[in-house]
Amino acid sequence: MTSTTAADLAAHLLDLAILLAAPDPLDRARSETAVLGLLRDHVPGVASVSVTRGPAHRPVTVASSDALAARADRIQYESGAGPCLHALAHDEMVVVDLTGGSDDERWPAFRRRMTAEAGIGGVRSHPLRDGSPGSLNIYLGVPGPDPDLVATAAAAARLALFAVATRARADQLSDALATSRTIGAAIGMLMARHGWSRDAAFTALREASQHTNRKLRDVAADVVADRVDAGPG
């Protein structure tokens, strides 16, 4: 990796780390797309990048640097085979040369379509291993990048994506805890106000949620704020 590329990536990844440490809510899709854009824009020879999630038989592109990556992913999904699906199914990195410079003949249908429809010179798919099935898919141009350069950049991108996933899980746990506390407070208020059991108070909250087509936590928040009673009648 050249010093300029290393410096650029380091600076942008530092900005991302600062963003992830901020107290503001995380937009996971936007953060993942930003990571992919950095990889595409700062590694010469990388044409496009995406992230595939889900089991290999139900893959979904959850982030992409541009339309080219989404199209390249779709070719694999429609073909039913390819590097990202193999990475998902077998949890191993896959490198495929589509320029004819190797003896690798795997996935012929995928190869034909990728060359004809996307103009891709190669693919690197890296399992993410961040708690849910995922693959970082790096689509290479012609000529492609230096192998050592793209391998180092891919490792940095996987680390950044792991940080995004970790922050997202932390936010979800925080939200769940806050919701649990709000519902618990609402149940306690209804028990004290109406002399109900805990089960009866929770049932009243649930029925109010169903009747108003609102989330249980929102109804509970209104009870705590004394905007609704959720009691009989």
Look at residue 99 and tell me if it is in a domain. Answer: yes
Which residue would you say has higher pLDDT here, 145 or 231? Answer: 145
Look at residue 74 and tell me if it is in a domain. Answer: yes
Long-range contacts of 189-198 (CB under 8 A, 24+ apart): 189/223, 189/224, 190/223, 190/229, 190/230, 190/231, 193/229, 193/231, 194/231, 194/232
Mean pLDDT within 76-104: 89
Which range has the worst mean pLDDT, 27-36, 40-49, 208-217? 27-36
Residue 4 has pLDDT above 60, yes or no: no
- What DSSP state is assigned to residue 1? -
- pTM for the full model? 0.71
Q: How far, in Å, CA of 168 to CA of 62, rounded?
A: 14
Mean pLDDT of the chain: 85
The CATH number linked to 185 is 1.10.10.10
Domain that includes residue 140, residue range: 3-172
Instruction: Report pLDDT for 5.
Output: 60
Residue 1 has pLDDT above 60, yes or no: no
The CATH number linked to 7 is 3.30.450.40
Tens of pLDDT along 134-187? 999 999 988 777 788 788 888 888 888 888 888 877 777 878 888 888 999 989
Q: State whether 164 and 180 are in the same domain.
A: no
